[in-house]
Amino acid sequence: MLEPLRESLPLSDVHSVAIIGAGLSGLACGQQLAAQGIRVALFDKARGPGGRMSSKRRLSATLDLGAQAFSVRNERFANKVAEWQVAGCVARWPTSLYQASASGWQIHNDDQLRYTGAPRMSAVTRHLANTLNALPNATITLETHIAALDKVAAGWQLHDSHGSIHGPFDVVVISAPPPQAKALLAEWEPTLAAACEEKPQRGCWAGWVIFEEPLPPMAKVVATWHTVHAQHPVLRLASRNHTKPGREHQPESISLLAQLDWSDAHIESDSESTAQQLLEAFISLLPDNTKLPNIIELGAHRWRYAQPAQAGYQSYLYSTNGLALCGDSFKGSRVEDAWLSGDELGRALLGQSV
């Protein structure tokens, strides 16, 4: 039976939990559980934790290619962000926002406080991962792709693509995007697999360009502008990484996030042509005849599953046979949604109300 865990499992029934995906949701869930003595093991196929909050390190610059910043609306998340500020892994940014269209650039001021990771977006998830690693009952295993689940008498076992077996565990939490979660669940929990099927995902291309020198100034635009929201069929947002806290030493380095409709239509394009099209879209926002500095590097990264096509009404889902789903795909596409989803699932598994 599929439940949203309003009636949660007693704490005595859950002693060990495997979490597949060490993004923000998985880490938030793991923190809640491990802090209460539950044995927690996180697995991620990437080289580091973070998911779409990860950062890309290049020879001359560090770039955020997923989430650029986040806002806060929920009180519990606000308290968590305050903790991160004290820890030094988040800071206020951006504070200089613009929007651009064919009619030019205008200041964008919606009175919303925003934050970013310091000195890079992945600092947030690395802080959470370090906190978990410091606990004797928590482990994080990276560069490990979980390929299959198996139900045994003692619980759930995880089979990775290298042939190793992990577990058993009482509960398996999957915080990966729904299409990837469905592949693991289909054999064991058709209802959860169907729930994944009902969560179509949008893709997104993210480009970057690193210049030798700063961009030339523009009339009526402050020289230190941070982000610009574009009214353009290709480009959605341009973000200056070197204006973020802790990255002032970097050369001019800009992340270019594509429009979702354009990304979906070009999701199978090659990265070289995609990067060039994103750069050309950005150039089209600049005043005519703007002379750009020499380019050090130009590239693009494809997020095949960037965000849900529509917001959900449940923060997580759970099957009484010990399989659970969480992540921003179920609650919404914002950083806050991702954290709340994992945190709330962890609380529910502990029998705590939110």
Q: Are residues 12 and 33 in the same domain?
A: yes
Q: Are residues 217 and 345 in the same domain?
A: no
Q: What is the pLDDT of residue 12?
A: 54
How far, in Å, CA of 229 to CA of 94, rounded? 12
Give a yes or no: residue 230 inside a domain. yes
SS (H, E, C) 19-61: EECCEHHHHHHHHHHHHCCCEEEEECCCCCCEHHHCEEECCCC
How many domains in the chain? 2
Q: Of 308, 325, 343, which residue sits at a domain end?
A: 308
Give a yes or no: residue 268 inside a domain. yes
Q: What is the pLDDT of residue 92?
A: 97
pLDDT digits (tens, 9 = 90+) for 28-87: 999 999 999 999 999 999 988 888 888 889 988 999 999 999 999 999 999 999 999 999
Q: For the domain that residue 277 is a member of, what is the CATH number? A: 3.90.660.10
How many Cα atoms sit within 13 Å of 113 on the Cβ side? 9
Alpha helix positions (H), 147-230: 178-185, 190-197
Buried b (16+ CB within 10 A) or exposed e, 231-257: ebebbbbbbbbbbbbbbeebbbbbbbb
Give a yes or no: residue 79 inside a domain. no
Decide: 308 and 198 in contact? Cβ < 8 Å: no
Q: Are residues 316 and 333 in the same domain?
A: yes
Give a yes or no: residue 346 inside a domain. yes
Q: Are residues 196 and 336 in the same domain?
A: yes
Q: Of 290, 308, 326, which residue sits at a domain end?
A: 308
Q: Are residues 287 and 242 in the same domain?
A: yes
DSSP tag of 199: -
Q: Are residues 165 and 296 in the same domain?
A: no
Give a yes or no: residue 72 inside a domain. no
Q: What is the pLDDT of residue 4?
A: 44
3-state secondary structure of 12: helix
Give a yes or no: residue 88 inside a domain. no
The domain of 145 spans 1-67+121-200+310-354
Q: What is the pLDDT of residue 82?
A: 98
Give a yes or no: residue 78 inside a domain. no
Q: Are residues 243 and 255 in the same domain?
A: yes
Alpha helix positions (H), 92-177: 122-133
Q: Are residues 316 and 289 in the same domain?
A: no
Q: Are residues 25 and 129 in the same domain?
A: yes
Q: What is the pLDDT of residue 3?
A: 44
Regions of the chain short of the pLDDT cut 70: 1-12, 312, 353-354
pLDDT digits (tens, 9 = 90+) for 306-316: 888 887 677 89
Alpha helix positions (H), the chain: 24-35, 75-87, 122-133, 178-185, 190-197, 260-265, 271-285, 328-331, 335-349
Give a yes or no: residue 11 inside a domain. yes
10 Å CB burial of residue 148 (0-12, 13-18, 19+) is middle
Q: What is the pLDDT of residue 116?
A: 97
